[in-house]
Structure 1
Amino acid sequence: MTTPRETRADRRRATEARILEKAREEFAAKGFDRTTIRAVAGAAGVDPALVMQYFGSKRELFGRAVQAFAASPPEGAGADVFADRMLATLGLKLGGLPEGTLAVLRSMLTDPAAAEHVRAALGGQIADAGAAVPAPDDRELRAALAVTTLLGVTIGHQLLGLSALREASPDRIAALLRPALNALVEPAP
Protein backbone atom coordinates (compact mmCIF):
# COMPACT_ATOMS: atom_id res chain seq x y z
CA MET A 1 0.00 0.00 0.00
CA THR A 2 1.38 3.38 -0.94
CA THR A 3 0.96 6.47 1.16
CA PRO A 4 -0.44 9.57 -0.50
CA ARG A 5 2.15 12.16 -1.43
CA GLU A 6 2.19 15.26 0.68
CA THR A 7 1.24 18.18 -1.53
CA ARG A 8 2.83 21.57 -1.52
CA ALA A 9 -0.35 22.99 0.05
CA ASP A 10 -0.16 20.35 2.82
CA ARG A 11 3.44 21.33 3.56
CA ARG A 12 2.49 25.01 3.60
CA ARG A 13 -0.37 24.39 6.06
CA ALA A 14 1.92 22.31 8.28
CA THR A 15 4.59 25.02 8.27
CA GLU A 16 2.02 27.73 9.02
CA ALA A 17 0.61 25.66 11.89
CA ARG A 18 4.11 25.08 13.30
CA ILE A 19 4.88 28.81 13.12
CA LEU A 20 1.61 29.63 14.91
CA GLU A 21 2.30 27.05 17.61
CA LYS A 22 5.77 28.47 18.26
CA ALA A 23 4.42 32.03 18.11
CA ARG A 24 1.85 31.18 20.81
CA GLU A 25 4.63 29.79 22.99
CA GLU A 26 6.86 32.84 22.46
CA PHE A 27 4.07 35.39 23.01
CA ALA A 28 2.87 33.57 26.13
CA ALA A 29 6.38 33.42 27.57
CA LYS A 30 7.61 36.90 26.59
CA GLY A 31 4.58 39.03 25.75
CA PHE A 32 4.06 40.99 22.56
CA ASP A 33 6.80 43.59 22.99
CA ARG A 34 9.64 41.17 23.78
CA THR A 35 8.73 38.55 21.19
CA THR A 36 10.57 38.89 17.90
CA ILE A 37 9.87 37.47 14.48
CA ARG A 38 13.42 36.10 14.50
CA ALA A 39 12.74 34.17 17.76
CA VAL A 40 9.49 32.73 16.42
CA ALA A 41 11.18 31.72 13.19
CA GLY A 42 14.07 30.11 15.06
CA ALA A 43 11.72 28.14 17.28
CA ALA A 44 9.74 27.00 14.23
CA GLY A 45 12.88 26.13 12.26
CA VAL A 46 12.14 28.52 9.40
CA ASP A 47 13.61 31.70 7.96
CA PRO A 48 12.20 34.97 9.44
CA ALA A 49 11.28 36.07 5.90
CA LEU A 50 8.93 33.09 5.65
CA VAL A 51 7.13 34.18 8.84
CA MET A 52 6.67 37.62 7.31
CA GLN A 53 5.52 36.10 4.01
CA TYR A 54 2.84 34.04 5.79
CA PHE A 55 1.70 36.65 8.32
CA GLY A 56 2.77 40.08 7.07
CA SER A 57 3.73 41.60 10.42
CA LYS A 58 4.26 40.79 14.07
CA ARG A 59 0.86 42.30 14.91
CA GLU A 60 -0.88 40.06 12.34
CA LEU A 61 1.02 37.03 13.65
CA PHE A 62 -0.11 37.87 17.18
CA GLY A 63 -3.70 38.30 15.99
CA ARG A 64 -3.67 34.88 14.37
CA ALA A 65 -1.93 33.32 17.39
CA VAL A 66 -4.64 34.46 19.80
CA GLN A 67 -7.42 32.98 17.67
CA ALA A 68 -7.90 29.82 19.69
CA PHE A 69 -10.57 28.42 17.43
CA ALA A 70 -9.12 29.00 14.00
CA ALA A 71 -9.08 25.26 13.37
CA SER A 72 -12.04 22.98 13.92
CA PRO A 73 -11.99 21.09 17.21
CA PRO A 74 -11.24 17.38 17.07
CA GLU A 75 -14.31 15.21 16.54
CA GLY A 76 -15.94 14.51 19.89
CA ALA A 77 -13.90 17.19 21.67
CA GLY A 78 -15.31 17.97 25.07
CA ALA A 79 -15.22 20.71 27.65
CA ASP A 80 -11.56 20.08 28.51
CA VAL A 81 -10.47 20.71 24.92
CA PHE A 82 -12.58 23.87 24.82
CA ALA A 83 -11.08 25.08 28.12
CA ASP A 84 -7.54 24.27 26.91
CA ARG A 85 -8.03 26.37 23.80
CA MET A 86 -9.59 29.28 25.69
CA LEU A 87 -6.91 29.25 28.39
CA ALA A 88 -4.12 29.14 25.79
CA THR A 89 -5.32 32.49 24.44
CA LEU A 90 -5.58 33.89 27.96
CA GLY A 91 -1.95 32.97 28.57
CA LEU A 92 -0.98 34.95 25.49
CA LYS A 93 -2.98 37.95 26.61
CA LEU A 94 -1.57 37.89 30.14
CA GLY A 95 1.91 37.82 28.61
CA GLY A 96 1.26 41.27 27.20
CA LEU A 97 -0.88 42.79 24.50
CA PRO A 98 0.26 45.14 21.72
CA GLU A 99 -0.05 48.83 22.61
CA GLY A 100 -2.59 49.29 19.81
CA THR A 101 -4.83 46.62 21.32
CA LEU A 102 -4.47 48.13 24.78
CA ALA A 103 -5.34 51.56 23.37
CA VAL A 104 -8.52 50.21 21.78
CA LEU A 105 -9.50 48.44 25.01
CA ARG A 106 -8.87 51.64 27.00
CA SER A 107 -11.05 53.60 24.58
CA MET A 108 -13.91 51.15 24.01
CA LEU A 109 -16.19 52.65 26.66
CA THR A 110 -15.84 56.23 25.47
CA ASP A 111 -15.23 56.04 21.71
CA PRO A 112 -17.89 54.54 19.43
CA ALA A 113 -15.33 53.51 16.78
CA ALA A 114 -13.21 51.69 19.36
CA ALA A 115 -16.33 50.04 20.79
CA GLU A 116 -17.34 48.83 17.32
CA HIS A 117 -13.84 47.48 16.70
CA VAL A 118 -13.90 45.50 19.97
CA ARG A 119 -17.49 44.35 19.32
CA ALA A 120 -16.52 43.03 15.89
CA ALA A 121 -13.39 41.29 17.21
CA LEU A 122 -15.29 39.71 20.08
CA GLY A 123 -18.13 38.73 17.76
CA GLY A 124 -15.67 36.78 15.62
CA GLN A 125 -14.13 35.11 18.68
CA ILE A 126 -17.57 34.20 20.02
CA ALA A 127 -18.65 32.74 16.68
CA ASP A 128 -15.47 30.67 16.42
CA ALA A 129 -15.69 29.52 20.05
CA GLY A 130 -19.40 28.76 19.67
CA ALA A 131 -18.66 26.28 16.93
CA ALA A 132 -16.37 24.45 19.38
CA VAL A 133 -18.78 24.39 22.34
CA PRO A 134 -19.58 20.72 23.05
CA ALA A 135 -23.02 21.49 24.54
CA PRO A 136 -25.76 21.28 21.92
CA ASP A 137 -27.85 24.14 23.35
CA ASP A 138 -27.09 27.84 23.73
CA ARG A 139 -23.72 27.55 21.98
CA GLU A 140 -23.41 31.25 21.20
CA LEU A 141 -24.45 32.32 24.70
CA ARG A 142 -22.05 29.84 26.31
CA ALA A 143 -19.22 31.03 24.06
CA ALA A 144 -20.05 34.68 24.80
CA LEU A 145 -19.90 34.01 28.53
CA ALA A 146 -16.55 32.24 28.20
CA VAL A 147 -15.01 34.90 25.93
CA THR A 148 -16.19 37.83 28.05
CA THR A 149 -15.00 36.13 31.24
CA LEU A 150 -11.51 35.99 29.77
CA LEU A 151 -11.88 39.59 28.55
CA GLY A 152 -12.59 40.63 32.14
CA VAL A 153 -9.51 38.80 33.39
CA THR A 154 -7.42 40.42 30.65
CA ILE A 155 -8.70 43.91 31.49
CA GLY A 156 -8.15 43.35 35.21
CA HIS A 157 -4.59 42.16 34.58
CA GLN A 158 -3.43 44.37 31.70
CA LEU A 159 -5.31 47.64 32.14
CA LEU A 160 -6.27 47.83 35.80
CA GLY A 161 -3.22 46.05 37.16
CA LEU A 162 -5.24 44.32 39.88
CA SER A 163 -2.67 42.98 42.32
CA ALA A 164 -4.39 39.61 42.80
CA LEU A 165 -4.22 39.00 39.05
CA ARG A 166 -0.74 40.49 38.59
CA GLU A 167 0.73 38.44 41.45
CA ALA A 168 -0.79 35.13 40.34
CA SER A 169 0.97 33.08 37.71
CA PRO A 170 -0.87 32.45 34.44
CA ASP A 171 -0.86 28.75 35.34
CA ARG A 172 -2.62 29.45 38.66
CA ILE A 173 -5.21 31.67 36.97
CA ALA A 174 -5.82 28.98 34.33
CA ALA A 175 -6.20 26.28 36.99
CA LEU A 176 -8.83 28.31 38.82
CA LEU A 177 -10.71 29.25 35.63
CA ARG A 178 -10.73 25.74 34.10
CA PRO A 179 -13.68 24.37 36.18
CA ALA A 180 -15.74 27.48 35.42
CA LEU A 181 -15.11 27.20 31.68
CA ASN A 182 -15.87 23.48 31.76
CA ALA A 183 -19.14 24.15 33.60
CA LEU A 184 -20.11 26.80 31.06
CA VAL A 185 -19.82 24.52 28.07
CA GLU A 186 -20.70 21.03 29.34
CA PRO A 187 -24.05 19.69 28.20
CA ALA A 188 -26.71 19.72 30.90
CA PRO A 189 -27.14 16.31 32.59
Structure 2
Amino acid sequence: MTNPSPRPTRAQQRHQTEARILTAARQMFAELGYDRTTIRAVASAAGVDAGLVMHYFGSKDQLFSRAAELPADQLHMGTPEQVAEALLTSLANRLDSEPVASLAVLRSMLTNTDAAERYRAAAEPQLSQITAAIPTADAEIRASLLSAIVHGVIIERYLLRLGGLANAAPEQIIDLLRPCFQTLATPPQPPSASRPAADA
Protein backbone atom coordinates (compact mmCIF):
# COMPACT_ATOMS: atom_id res chain seq x y z
CA MET A 1 0.00 0.00 0.00
CA THR A 2 1.48 3.31 -1.05
CA ASN A 3 1.63 6.23 1.30
CA PRO A 4 -0.60 9.17 0.31
CA SER A 5 1.21 12.17 -1.10
CA PRO A 6 1.76 14.88 1.52
CA ARG A 7 -0.60 17.80 1.25
CA PRO A 8 1.05 20.92 -0.17
CA THR A 9 1.98 23.57 2.35
CA ARG A 10 0.29 26.97 2.35
CA ALA A 11 3.36 28.46 0.65
CA GLN A 12 3.27 25.75 -2.04
CA GLN A 13 -0.44 26.32 -2.60
CA ARG A 14 0.16 30.05 -3.00
CA HIS A 15 2.99 29.41 -5.46
CA GLN A 16 0.83 27.02 -7.51
CA THR A 17 -2.05 29.51 -7.60
CA GLU A 18 0.24 32.37 -8.64
CA ALA A 19 1.76 30.21 -11.38
CA ARG A 20 -1.71 29.26 -12.66
CA ILE A 21 -2.77 32.93 -12.74
CA LEU A 22 0.43 33.95 -14.55
CA THR A 23 0.00 31.21 -17.13
CA ALA A 24 -3.56 32.36 -17.83
CA ALA A 25 -2.49 36.02 -17.90
CA ARG A 26 0.36 35.40 -20.37
CA GLN A 27 -1.97 33.55 -22.70
CA MET A 28 -4.64 36.26 -22.56
CA PHE A 29 -2.20 39.16 -22.96
CA ALA A 30 -0.68 37.32 -25.93
CA GLU A 31 -4.07 36.67 -27.55
CA LEU A 32 -5.88 39.92 -26.72
CA GLY A 33 -3.23 42.49 -25.84
CA TYR A 34 -3.10 44.64 -22.72
CA ASP A 35 -6.18 46.79 -23.30
CA ARG A 36 -8.63 43.95 -23.99
CA THR A 37 -7.43 41.68 -21.18
CA THR A 38 -9.36 42.03 -17.91
CA ILE A 39 -8.64 40.83 -14.39
CA ARG A 40 -12.01 39.08 -14.37
CA ALA A 41 -11.19 37.16 -17.56
CA VAL A 42 -7.77 36.11 -16.26
CA ALA A 43 -9.33 34.95 -13.00
CA SER A 44 -11.93 32.92 -14.86
CA ALA A 45 -9.29 31.28 -17.06
CA ALA A 46 -7.19 30.45 -13.98
CA GLY A 47 -10.19 29.13 -12.06
CA VAL A 48 -9.90 31.61 -9.20
CA ASP A 49 -11.79 34.62 -7.88
CA ALA A 50 -10.92 38.03 -9.34
CA GLY A 51 -10.27 39.29 -5.82
CA LEU A 52 -7.55 36.68 -5.39
CA VAL A 53 -5.78 37.94 -8.53
CA MET A 54 -5.84 41.46 -7.09
CA HIS A 55 -4.67 40.14 -3.71
CA TYR A 56 -1.62 38.43 -5.27
CA PHE A 57 -0.72 41.01 -7.92
CA GLY A 58 -2.28 44.29 -6.81
CA SER A 59 -3.34 45.67 -10.18
CA LYS A 60 -3.59 44.87 -13.87
CA ASP A 61 -0.34 46.79 -14.48
CA GLN A 62 1.52 44.70 -11.90
CA LEU A 63 0.03 41.50 -13.29
CA PHE A 64 1.18 42.46 -16.78
CA SER A 65 4.62 43.33 -15.43
CA ARG A 66 5.00 39.82 -13.99
CA ALA A 67 3.38 38.01 -16.91
CA ALA A 68 5.54 39.80 -19.48
CA GLU A 69 8.91 39.24 -17.82
CA LEU A 70 11.24 38.31 -20.67
CA PRO A 71 14.09 35.89 -20.04
CA ALA A 72 17.56 37.06 -21.05
CA ASP A 73 18.54 35.61 -24.41
CA GLN A 74 22.31 35.81 -24.42
CA LEU A 75 23.87 34.69 -27.68
CA HIS A 76 27.21 32.95 -27.92
CA MET A 77 29.12 35.16 -30.30
CA GLY A 78 32.21 34.39 -32.36
CA THR A 79 32.85 34.66 -36.07
CA PRO A 80 30.21 36.34 -38.26
CA GLU A 81 29.09 32.88 -39.39
CA GLN A 82 28.66 31.83 -35.75
CA VAL A 83 26.66 35.01 -35.07
CA ALA A 84 24.22 34.04 -37.83
CA GLU A 85 23.94 30.47 -36.53
CA ALA A 86 23.39 31.64 -32.94
CA LEU A 87 20.51 33.84 -34.08
CA LEU A 88 19.03 31.04 -36.15
CA THR A 89 19.24 28.62 -33.20
CA SER A 90 17.52 31.15 -30.93
CA LEU A 91 14.79 31.68 -33.51
CA ALA A 92 14.36 27.92 -34.04
CA ASN A 93 13.72 27.46 -30.32
CA ARG A 94 11.01 30.14 -30.39
CA LEU A 95 9.42 28.59 -33.47
CA ASP A 96 9.34 25.17 -31.84
CA SER A 97 7.86 26.32 -28.51
CA GLU A 98 5.45 29.26 -28.48
CA PRO A 99 7.14 32.17 -26.58
CA VAL A 100 4.01 33.31 -24.72
CA ALA A 101 5.69 36.01 -22.59
CA SER A 102 7.27 37.54 -25.69
CA LEU A 103 3.95 37.41 -27.51
CA ALA A 104 2.23 39.19 -24.62
CA VAL A 105 4.68 42.07 -25.05
CA LEU A 106 4.57 42.08 -28.86
CA ARG A 107 0.77 42.06 -28.93
CA SER A 108 0.53 44.87 -26.38
CA MET A 109 3.45 47.14 -27.24
CA LEU A 110 1.64 49.29 -29.81
CA THR A 111 -1.02 50.37 -27.32
CA ASN A 112 0.75 50.12 -23.96
CA THR A 113 3.79 52.20 -22.97
CA ASP A 114 5.03 49.65 -20.44
CA ALA A 115 4.96 46.87 -23.02
CA ALA A 116 6.90 49.03 -25.49
CA GLU A 117 9.54 49.79 -22.84
CA ARG A 118 9.82 46.10 -22.00
CA TYR A 119 10.34 45.28 -25.67
CA ARG A 120 13.10 47.87 -25.99
CA ALA A 121 14.75 46.84 -22.72
CA ALA A 122 14.84 43.19 -23.78
CA ALA A 123 15.93 43.88 -27.37
CA GLU A 124 18.61 46.53 -26.93
CA PRO A 125 21.30 44.43 -25.18
CA GLN A 126 21.06 41.69 -27.79
CA LEU A 127 21.03 44.24 -30.61
CA SER A 128 24.22 45.81 -29.22
CA GLN A 129 25.76 42.35 -28.90
CA ILE A 130 25.00 41.50 -32.52
CA THR A 131 26.24 44.89 -33.75
CA ALA A 132 29.56 44.45 -31.95
CA ALA A 133 30.04 41.01 -33.50
CA ILE A 134 29.58 42.13 -37.12
CA PRO A 135 32.88 43.55 -38.45
CA THR A 136 31.50 46.06 -40.94
CA ALA A 137 31.01 49.83 -41.01
CA ASP A 138 27.26 49.32 -41.40
CA ALA A 139 27.04 46.76 -38.58
CA GLU A 140 24.26 48.66 -36.80
CA ILE A 141 21.81 48.49 -39.69
CA ARG A 142 22.78 44.88 -40.42
CA ALA A 143 22.06 43.94 -36.80
CA SER A 144 18.77 45.87 -36.91
CA LEU A 145 17.69 43.99 -40.03
CA LEU A 146 18.51 40.64 -38.42
CA SER A 147 16.50 41.62 -35.34
CA ALA A 148 13.60 42.84 -37.47
CA ILE A 149 13.48 39.55 -39.39
CA VAL A 150 13.44 37.53 -36.16
CA HIS A 151 10.62 39.56 -34.63
CA GLY A 152 8.72 39.71 -37.91
CA VAL A 153 8.77 35.93 -38.25
CA ILE A 154 7.53 35.52 -34.66
CA ILE A 155 4.71 38.03 -35.19
CA GLU A 156 3.70 36.47 -38.50
CA ARG A 157 3.74 32.90 -37.14
CA TYR A 158 1.93 33.43 -33.85
CA LEU A 159 -0.01 36.69 -33.95
CA LEU A 160 -1.03 37.29 -37.57
CA ARG A 161 -1.09 33.62 -38.59
CA LEU A 162 -1.01 34.53 -42.26
CA GLY A 163 0.50 32.53 -45.09
CA GLY A 164 2.68 29.49 -44.65
CA LEU A 165 4.68 30.62 -41.62
CA ALA A 166 1.93 29.65 -39.20
CA ASN A 167 2.25 25.95 -39.99
CA ALA A 168 5.71 25.58 -41.53
CA ALA A 169 8.23 23.32 -39.83
CA PRO A 170 10.84 25.30 -37.88
CA GLU A 171 13.61 23.49 -39.77
CA GLN A 172 12.22 24.64 -43.11
CA ILE A 173 12.02 28.27 -41.98
CA ILE A 174 15.55 28.21 -40.60
CA ASP A 175 16.99 26.60 -43.75
CA LEU A 176 15.38 29.27 -45.94
CA LEU A 177 16.61 32.10 -43.71
CA ARG A 178 20.18 30.83 -43.34
CA PRO A 179 21.60 32.39 -46.56
CA CYS A 180 20.02 35.75 -45.68
CA PHE A 181 21.39 35.69 -42.12
CA GLN A 182 24.84 34.67 -43.33
CA THR A 183 24.85 37.51 -45.87
CA LEU A 184 23.81 40.12 -43.29
CA ALA A 185 26.29 38.92 -40.65
CA THR A 186 29.27 38.42 -42.94
CA PRO A 187 31.45 41.21 -44.39
CA PRO A 188 31.09 41.44 -48.16
CA GLN A 189 33.93 39.89 -50.09
CA PRO A 190 36.14 42.36 -51.99
CA PRO A 191 35.55 42.23 -55.74
CA SER A 192 37.92 39.86 -57.46
CA ALA A 193 40.34 41.35 -59.95
CA SER A 194 38.95 41.43 -63.45
CA ARG A 195 40.31 38.72 -65.65
CA PRO A 196 42.17 40.01 -68.72
CA ALA A 197 40.14 39.95 -71.84
CA ALA A 198 40.76 36.93 -74.02
CA ASP A 199 42.89 37.54 -77.10
CA ALA A 200 40.85 38.00 -80.21
| TM-score for both structures, normalised by structure 1 | 0.58
SS at match of 2:71: helix
Does 2:97 correspond to 1:89? no
Q: Which residue of 2 aligns with 1:149?
A: 149
Find the aligned partners of 2:178 and 2:100 in 1 and give their Cα distance: 28
- In the TM superposition, residue 154 of structure 1 has moved relative to its aligned partner by 0.7
Q: Which residue of 1 aligns with 2:128?
A: 127
Q: Is the 8 A contact 1:96 1:158 kept in 2?
A: no
Runs of at least 5 residues in structure 1 that lack an aligned partner in the other structure: 1-32, 34-58
**Structure 1 residue ranges, 4+ long, deviating more than 6 angstroms after superposition:** none
Find the aligned partners of 1:85 and 1:95 in 2 and give their Cα distance: 16
Matches within 5 A, 1:68-83: 69=75, 71-73=76-78, 77-78=79-80, 80-83=81-84
Matches within 5 A, 1:1-189: 63-64=71-72, 66-67=73-74, 69=75, 71-73=76-78, 77-78=79-80, 80-133=81-134, 135-188=135-188, 189=190
Find the aligned partners of 2:183 and 2:156 in 1 and give their Cα distance: 22
SS at match of 1:137: coil
CA RMSD of aligned residues (A): 2.3
Runs of at least 5 residues in structure 2 that lack an aligned partner in the other structure: 1-26, 28-67, 191-200
- In the TM superposition, residue 98 of structure 1 has moved relative to its aligned partner by 4.1
Find the aligned partners of 2:127 and 2:184 in 1 and give their Cα distance: 14
- In the TM superposition, residue 99 of structure 1 has moved relative to its aligned partner by 2.9
The C-alpha deviation readout for 1:95-149, integer Å capped at 9, x for no partner, is: 234433221110011111111110121111101111222x321222211110111
Find the aligned partners of 1:93 and 1:176 in 2 and give their Cα distance: 16
Find the aligned partners of 1:184 and 1:165 in 2 and give their Cα distance: 21
Larger radius of gyration: 2
Tell me the amino acid that sits aligned with residue 136 of structure 1. T
- In the TM superposition, residue 87 of structure 1 has moved relative to its aligned partner by 0.5
Q: Is the 8 A contact 2:77 2:86 kept in 1?
A: no
SS at match of 1:63: coil
Aligned length: 123
Find the aligned partners of 2:168 and 2:119 in 1 and give their Cα distance: 26
Q: 1:98 to 1:178 in 2, by over 3 A?
A: closer
- In the TM superposition, residue 91 of structure 1 has moved relative to its aligned partner by 0.8
- In the TM superposition, residue 63 of structure 1 has moved relative to its aligned partner by 2.2
The C-alpha deviation readout for 1:30-80, integer Å capped at 9, x for no partner, is: xxx9xxxxxxxxxxxxxxxxxxxxxxxxx98x824x43x2x442xxx13x3
Find the aligned partners of 1:100 and 1:183 in 2 and give their Cα distance: 30
Q: 1:98 to 1:182 in 2, by over 3 A?
A: closer
Identity %: 38
Of Structure 1 and Structure 2, the greater helix share is in 1
